[in-house]
A and B are shown apart, each in its own frame.
Chain A
Amino acid sequence: MESKEEVKKKIREMGRNLLKQISKQENPYLDVPIRALSNVSYDPKTKLITLGNKTAKRYLFNVAHIRKFAQTLGVAGLAKQLINEDKHLNIREAFYALKRPVLGADINLADEQEETNAAIEDLELILDASREQLHFNADKGGFVAGKVIIQDRNDVIDWSKLGSGGWSIPSNVEDIKFKKVDAKYVIYLEKAATWERLNEDKVWEKLNCIIVCSRGQAPRGVRRLLQRLNFEFGLPIYVLVDLDPWGTYIYSVLKFGSISLAHISEKLAIPDVKYLGLTPDDIVKYKLEKHKLPMKDVDTKRLEEVSNYEWFKHDERWVTFFKKMVALKGKVELAALTSNGISFISEKYIPEKIKNKDWID
C-alpha cells in the first residue's frame, strides 16, 4: 500500500506535467487509459482481467474534451484536499462538491453524478491509484456474520453477536483490524434472503464459517473484505449464486476482476474463489426443473456475452456449464431449494457440496 505522501506526489506530478506542456506552448493534455472491453485482456497466468496499454489523449482546448478535462482537474484537486485533511467523501458527496459553477462562468462544472463518477475512475487510471487511496468512497453495501472479532476505528465488534442483521460492511475496509478469525471458509451469497436463511440457521456456527452477502454485484468494500480474508487468513471463498448469467458474472467479477475496474484487478480480484452456486446438474439432482423461470431476451443475450468472455470460453468445465444452461432454457433461483425443506440449503445443500468438493474453482 502506497503512502499518502506518494499519492499526493502523483497528483502534483500530474499538475507539473501539464505545466511543462504549457511552458512549451502545447495544447495541454492528459493521457487517459481506455476503460473498455477493447482495452481489456485476460492473463491466464495470473488468472486476472488486466487493462491494456491503450490510452486516449484528453486535451484542454478541444470542444469535445474540455469539460471532462476540467472535471478531471476538479476531482484531482478535491482528492488532494481530502488527503491533506484526512477526510473521505462518498462518490455522491463528491458529485455535490463538484456541482458548482465553473470559475467565472455561467455553467456548472458537473451536472450529473455519472460525470463525476467517470472523472474519479479516470483519475484512478491516470494516477494508478485506487479510489480509496484518493479518499473517495464507493457506496457501501453488504453484511457479514461469523465468529470474527474486528476493530473498526475505536470500536471492537464481534460478528457473532449482531443478531439477525449482521455487521454492515463499510465502503472502505482498508483500516479494519482483524483481532480473531475463527472460520474454515467464507460463504458469499448473492441474495439477502438466502443470507438471512443461513444466519437464522446459525450456519456460521454450525459449519464454522463466515457468511457474507451483497445484493447483486459486490461493491468494492465487500470485494476487498473477501480478498483480505482470503489473502490474510487463507480462507477459501465459496460463491453461492442463482443459475443465470447475472449470477455467473457476479462470480466472474469476484474471481477475475471486472472490465471497468480492470486497472485494479490485483487489488480486488480473488483467484481462489470457488463456484458453489446452482449448476445445471443441481437442477436435476435436487429436482428443481419445475421452478424454472423463463429466460428473457436480455438474459439470453447476456448469457451469450458471458459465455464468450476470454476467461470462460477456454475452460472445458464452463463451456459445458453454459451449454447445459442454454439447453435448460430457463433460470433457477437459490431460493427454489426451499421446496426441498425450509433449511434444506443450510443442512443439506451446502455441507454436501463442500464435502463432495462439488464446486468449480
Chain B
Amino acid sequence: MAEEAKLREISIAEFFEKNRHLLGFDNPAKAILTVVKEAVDNSLDACELARILPDVLVEIREARRIFKVYDESGVALAEIVLEADRAELHVEDRILKPSEMKESNDEKTFVFEDNERTYKFKIQGKGDAEKYLFISGRKELKVVKMPQDRFAIVVEDNGPGISKEHVARVFGKLLYGSKFGAGMQSRGQQGIGISAALLYAQLTTGKPAKIWSKTEKSKSTYYCEIRMDTMKNEPIIISEKDIKDGKEHGVRIELEIEGKFVGGSHSVEEYLRQTLITNPYLSLTFIKPDGEKLFFKRTSETLPPLPKAIKPHPHGVELGVFERMLKATSSRTLAGFLSNDFSRVSPNTAEQVCKLASLKPSIKPSELTHVQIEKIWKIMQTFDFMKPPTDCLSPIGEESFIAGLKREYQADYFVATTRQPVVYRGNPFQIEVCIGYGGKLPQNESAKIIRIANRVPLIYQASSCAITKAIQKIEWRHYGIDVQNGMPFGPVIIAVHMASVWIPYTSESKEAIDPYPVVLKEIKLALQDTARKLQRYLAGKRRREEAAQRINLFEKYLKEASEGIASIAEVDSNTVLTGLKKILKHGNLGGEENGEQRGSEKEDKGNGT
C-alpha cells in the first residue's frame, strides 16, 4: 500500500510526533482516554467476532508517585520517587535506595540511610485519606504529594486471545490488522489504534508494553514485553515466556504512559458508561487510580448478530482503489473482475457496463490503459446498480437502545427510532436515535448529547461532529423542548448512533463524524422522527398536568365559594358544598370550554334583562 510504503521511508516516531493530534494523543488527559478506548474497542470487536459475551477489566494505576520534602522555610530538600518496583530518595545530588521497607495493614515505611543520618518515609491510610510523614534524623519535615503524571493502564478481556505468532505484530506494528478493508461494520477500522498507544507509551515513559495472551484453556498463557522499532515499523520482543495458569482465554495489555487523570464529560468513566449504553451484553469492571472499583453487570445475554462482510459497491470505490483492485484481482477478464470483486454486479450488468465503455468484456484487467480505466470507472459511478445489501449493518435496535440508556439515566420517558439503512456513495449506513425526557435529568442545563459510531461513544470534538450539527438544525421548540444557545435545553438526553461499514470520521482518532450532507440529512430525519414521538408524549403530559391543575384550582376555592354563596343566600353552607362537589365530580362544566381562552370573560349579547 502506498501510505505504508511512504511511512517506512520516514521514521515512524517522527510520523507519530507530527500526527499526534490525529491519533488522539494531543494532550495528557486525552491520551489516557485514547489508550483505554483503543484497547476496549479491540476487546469488544474480538469478543463479538468470536461470539463470546465480553467480560472486560479496565484498571488505571498511578505508575509513579513523587513526593517533595520541604524544610520550615519552604525550601525543597529532597524528593521521593515510588514506582511499582522501585523506591528512591533524591537528596542533594545523591540517589538513595531504601535500606529497609516495612508494610503493615495501615502503614508503609521506607527507611533510607546515608553517612550522616537516617530518613524515614511513612504512608498511612489509603486512597483519599492517605497521610504522609517524613522524618529526617529526629526532625519531622513537611511532605507534599506531587500531581500524578504517569499511569499504568491495564485492559483485560475474556476474548479469543491472539496466537503467539501474531501478538507482537498486532501490538507492535502500525497498520497491521485484520479489520482494514474487511468490508465489515466494526469498531476498529485501520489497524492503527493500539499500536499507536504502544508507541505513545514508549515515547513518553520508555516502558515496554506488557502483553498476556491465551487462546485456549488447555494451553499456557503467552507473556511478552515488546517495544517498537520506530525506524522499521517492526516489533522488538524484549522478553517472553509461557505461564501456566487456570484461566480460560483472553488478552491483557498493560501500558505505562504519561497522562493526566480527569473527571467530567471527557473522563474515562464517562466513556465507559456511554459504552455500556450501546453494549448491554458487556460486563465491565473499572478500577480508578484512587482504588475505587466500579462493577457493571451485563443487562443482556445476547450478542448482536454478527455483521456480514460485503464486497465494495461500485458507487463507493475511489479511482485509486479501483486501479489497485484491478492490479490485485485474480479474475482473468474485465467482466469477471466486475462481477466477482464487487457487490451488486451480476455477469449481465458487468457486460452492460463494458459495452457502455466500448470495451470488450473479455479484455484482461492487466491490459487496460489508464484512460480506459478512468472511462469505465466513470460509467460505474453513474450506472444504476442495485443498492448495496444492508444486512451488513448491526443496528442497536429501538428496544435495546432504550434499555441501554435507561441503565445509565433515570428519565421519565424514552423514545427511540431506528431508521432504514441508506446508501451514501456505495456505503450503507443506518442512523438510530434515542431520547430520554424528565425524571432525574437536570432541569437547568443543556441537554445531554451522546454520540455513538458503531457502538463506540465519541467523547471529543463534539462541535465539529455531524451529530451535534444535526441537533443544532432541529427546531426543538416545535417539539416542546426549550432551546438555549442553539442547543436543546432542559431535562433531555439525546443519543445518536451511526452504524456503517465505513464511518466518515473527521480524523484517524475517530472523535467526530464528518458532516456529509447525506449523513446530516439522515441524522436530522431520525431526530425529527424521534422528537415527534416525544412531542406526543409531552403534549399528553401537558394536558394531564393542566387538567390536574384546573381541578386543583377549583378544589382550592370550593370551601370559599360554598361559604360565600351560603352567606348571601342565607342557607346552610354544607348543602352548597355538596352541590358544588357534585358538579365538579360529574365534570358537567358548561362554560368551561371557553375557559381555555384565557383572559377576558365571554361576551354574551344579553337580552336586556
Q: Which single residue of chain A is at the shortest CB-CB distance from B598?
A: A64
A275 sits at the interface (CB 8 A): no
Given contacts A69-B561, A76-B568, whether A102 and B591 have CB atoms under 8 Å apart is no
B246 sits at the interface (CB 8 A): no
Given contacts A22-B579, A27-B583, A54-B606, whether A73 and B595 have CB atoms under 8 Å apart is no
When chains A and B are docked, how far (Å) is the Cα of A283 from the Cα of B553? 60
* Cβ–Cβ < 8 Å partners of B570 in chain A: 12, 15
Most buried by B among A23, A64, A102: A64
Q: Would you give the 0/1 interface string for A54-75, flagging 1 where the beta carbon is closer than 8 Å to chain B?
A: 1111111111111101100110
Assess whether A76 is in contact with B564, with CB atoms less than 8 Å apart. Answer: yes
B554 sits at the interface (CB 8 A): yes
Assess whether A59 is in contact with B569, with CB atoms less than 8 Å apart. Answer: no
* Cβ–Cβ < 8 Å partners of B583 in chain A: 22, 25-28, 61
Assess whether B564 is in contact with A70, with CB atoms less than 8 Å apart. Answer: yes
Task: Name the one of B568, B580, B597, B604 contacting A14, with C-beta atoms under 8 angstroms.
Answer: B568
Task: Name the one of A19, A55, A56, A107 contacting B576, with C-beta atoms under 8 angstroms.
Answer: A19
Assess whether A63 is in contact with B604, with CB atoms less than 8 Å apart. Answer: no
When chains A and B are docked, how far (Å) is the Cα of A63 from the Cα of B564? 18
CB distance from A19 to the nearest CB of B (A): 5
Q: Would you give the 0/1 interface string for B531-563, flagging 1 where the beta carbon is closer than 8 Å to chain A?
A: 000000000000000000010011011111101
Given contacts A25-B582, A66-B554, A105-B560, whether A61 and B592 have CB atoms under 8 Å apart is yes
Task: Name the one of A12, A14, A60 contacting B561, with C-beta atoms under 8 angstroms.
Answer: A60
* Cβ–Cβ < 8 Å partners of B594 in chain A: 62
Q: Which single residue of chain A is at the shortest CB-CB distance from B605?
A: A54
Question: Which residues of A from 249 to 304 have beta carbons under 8 Å from B?
Answer: none
A149 sits at the interface (CB 8 A): no
When chains A and B are docked, how far (Å) is the Cα of A105 from the Cα of B556? 6
Given contacts A25-B588, A29-B591, A65-B595, whether A104 and B560 have CB atoms under 8 Å apart is yes
Q: Would you give the 0/1 interface string for B561-601, flagging 1 where the beta carbon is closer than 8 Å to chain A?
A: 10111111111000010011011101011111011011111
Given contacts A27-B589, A66-B553, A70-B560, whether A61 and B584 have CB atoms under 8 Å apart is yes
Assess whether B603 is in contact with A34, with CB atoms less than 8 Å apart. Answer: yes
* Cβ–Cβ < 8 Å partners of A58 in chain B: 601
CB distance from B208 to the nearest CB of A (A): 72
CB distance from A312 to the nearest CB of B (A): 27
* Cβ–Cβ < 8 Å partners of A70 in chain B: 557, 560-561, 564
Q: At the interface, is chain A mostly helix, strand, loop or mixed?
A: mixed
Task: Name the one of B576, B579, B589, B600 contacting A61, with C-beta atoms under 8 angstroms.
Answer: B589
- Tally B residues with Cβ within 8 Å of A: 44
Q: At the interface, is chain B mostly helix, strand, loop or mixed?
A: helix
B139 sits at the interface (CB 8 A): no
B602 sits at the interface (CB 8 A): yes
Task: Name the one of B560, B588, B604, B607 contacting A102, with C-beta atoms under 8 angstroms.
Answer: B560
B263 sits at the interface (CB 8 A): no
Assess whether A62 is in contact with B565, with CB atoms less than 8 Å apart. Answer: no
When chains A and B are docked, how far (Å) is the Cα of A114 from the Cα of B583? 31
Task: Name the one of A27, A29, A53, A102 contacting B557, with C-beta atoms under 8 angstroms.
Answer: A102
B74 sits at the interface (CB 8 A): no
Task: Name the one of A12, A27, A60, A103 contacting B563, with C-beta atoms under 8 angstroms.
Answer: A103
Assess whether B564 is in contact with A27, with CB atoms less than 8 Å apart. Answer: no
Assess whether B603 is in contact with A77, with CB atoms less than 8 Å apart. Answer: no
Give 16 CB contacts A-B under 8 Å: A19-B565, A25-B586, A27-B583, A27-B588, A28-B580, A31-B606, A53-B606, A57-B591, A57-B604, A62-B589, A63-B550, A64-B598, A69-B557, A69-B561, A103-B559, A109-B560
Other 11 A-B pairs with CB < 8 A, given A12-B568, A64-B601: A15-B565, A19-B569, A26-B590, A28-B580, A28-B583, A29-B591, A53-B606, A61-B589, A61-B591, A67-B557, A77-B568
Which B residues are within 8 Å of any A CB, using their own CB?
A: 550, 553-554, 556-561, 563-571, 576, 579-580, 582-584, 586, 588-592, 594-595, 597-608
Nearest 8 CB-CB pairings of A with B: A15-B569, A73-B564, A15-B568, A62-B595, A56-B601, A22-B579, A55-B606, A59-B591
Which A residues are within 8 Å of any B CB, using their own CB?
A: 11-12, 14-16, 18-19, 22-23, 25-29, 31-34, 53-67, 69-70, 73-74, 76-77, 80, 102-105, 107, 109
